[in-house]
Amino acid sequence: MIFLTRKAEFSAAHFYWNDDLSPEENERVFGKCANRNGHGHNYTIEVTVSGEIDPVTGFVVDLKLLKDILEREVVGVYDHRHLNHEIPDFKTAIPTTENIAIAAWKRLEGKIPGAKLYKIRIYETLDLFADFYGPPPVDESQEICGLGNYMAGEDSAG
Amino acid sequence: MNVFLNRRYHFSASHRLHADSLSAEENSRTFGKCNNPFGHGHNYIVTVRFSGAVDPATGMVANLADLDQFAKQRLLSRYHLVNLNTLPEFESVVPTTENLAIEVHRIFSHFPHAFLESVNIEETPNNSFIYVTPSIFRSSDPPQVPFSAPQTKGSAT
């Protein structure tokens, strides 16, 4: 097995706010990030997939294809958008770096032919990044949840 | 369901690699330019890596303001713009970046809001060292073998 990582960039605005908290609590927990006018970042996303090398092409996955999928599923959706106001992923979940990593995973899982999604890394700045390796394995004796509600805050806020 | 939170901090410090137990010739041979009695310095970059569940109320593994405050009080105020050899933790331990990583790990292991996975320190863009939290400290991941003395002990002597 080999791991392949593709990087892409997008720029977006966000703010941190939880409607369940009072304005004072939001200010205390989120500080400057609670400013509801928002602020922005140049994000970098790194998608790591694992798989076997195709003996014919020498690829785990066609890089052009991976780039196109990343563009279609994530970058094209998030780039130059306000994450809180325009992206349904963050209708109830706060668009922290952690939750963006989980949301990007949900968007990409099952979309990359021939390879398995291994890791999503989101850089908010060079000095801050979050890694998500997917939800814990589903117990097959339980109901299959597929791309279910595993993003934190999704079922609790709003 | 865990997410890994990684945060970088920067500090600049000087040091001299020297072991009192070695002769002058042995120190010179072992540490080379780093044994210069006047010391020299680096711009260090520390990456601390934590894991934890994402808090549904905040969307966070840990509040960065808390982590930054912790880093400022415990790491940067101690190590930024100092001579590492003058600190008590390096009185009898050579301030190599290996040993520095262990000390920085000791500091961040007390951060109460997330589990410290590892500490990575870049001494230069070409040199970096990682100290990973020993498995004995993972309640969810019990060690496979009985715990003995840390293997990292004395790594730079």
The CATH number of residue A95's host domain is 3.30.479.10
Cβ contacts of B48 within 8 Å, gap of 6 or more: B6, B7, B9, B67, B71, B104, B108, B116, B118, B119
In a domain, residue A156? The reply is: no
Closest of B22, B95, B9, B108 to residue A127, by C-alpha: B9
B138: pLDDT confidence band, cut at 50, 70 and 90?
confident
pLDDT at B29 over 60: yes
| pLDDT per residue as tens digits for the range A44-65 | 999 999 999 999 988 999 999 9
The answer on pLDDT for A141 being more than 70 is: no
Both tokens of residue A17? 């706010």
Nearest to B6 among A129, A133, A153 (CB): A129
pTM of the shown model = 0.78
Would you give the distance in Å from CA A94 to the centre of its chain? 12
Q: Can you give the C-alpha Rg of chain A in angstroms?
A: 17
Coil, strand or helix: which one is B79? helix
Instruction: Show residues of chain B in contact with A16, CB under 8 Å.
Output: 58-59
Taking all residues of chain B, what is their mean pLDDT, rounded to a whole number?
88
Question: Domains, chain B, ranges and CATH?
Answer: 2-137 (3.30.479.10)
Question: Which residue from B minimizes the CA distance to A121?
Answer: B4
> Above 0.95 for ipTM, yes or no?
no
- Name every chain B residue with its beta carbon within 8 A of the beta carbon of A137: none
CB count, 10 Å around CB of B105? 22
Residue A149 within a domain: no
Write down the pLDDT at residue A152: 54
The residue among B9, B60, B66, B76 with the most chain A CBs within 10 A of its CB, best to mutate, is: B60
Query: For residue A153, what pLDDT is reported?
Result: 52
For the cut 50, the answer to whether the pLDDT of residue B121 exceeds it is yes
Residue A120 lies in a domain: yes
- In chain B, which residue's Cα lies nearest the Cα of A26? B58
Examine residue A58 and state whether it is found in any structural domain, yes or no.
Answer: yes
Query: Does residue A106 lie in a domain region?
Result: yes
Spell out a b/e string for B110-147, using b for 16 or more CB atoms within 10 Å of the CB, else e. ebeebbbbbbbbbbeeeeebebebeeeeeeeeeeeeee
List, for residues B69-114, the tens digit of each pLDDT value.
Answer: 999 999 999 999 999 999 999 999 999 999 999 999 999 999 999 9
Number of structural domains chain A divides into: 1
**Which among B1, B8, B65 has CB closest to A136?**
B1
What is the least distance, in Å, from the CA of A117 to any CA of chain B? 15
Host domain of residue A125: 2-132
Please answer whether residues B43 and B10 qualify as being in contact, where contact means their C-beta atoms are separated by less than 8 angstroms.
Answer: yes
Among candidates B9, B57, B59 on the partner chain, residue whose Cβ is nearest the Cβ of A98? B59
**pLDDT at residue A142, as a whole number:** 52
User: Which chain B residues touch A127 with a CB distance below 8 Å?
Assistant: 7-9
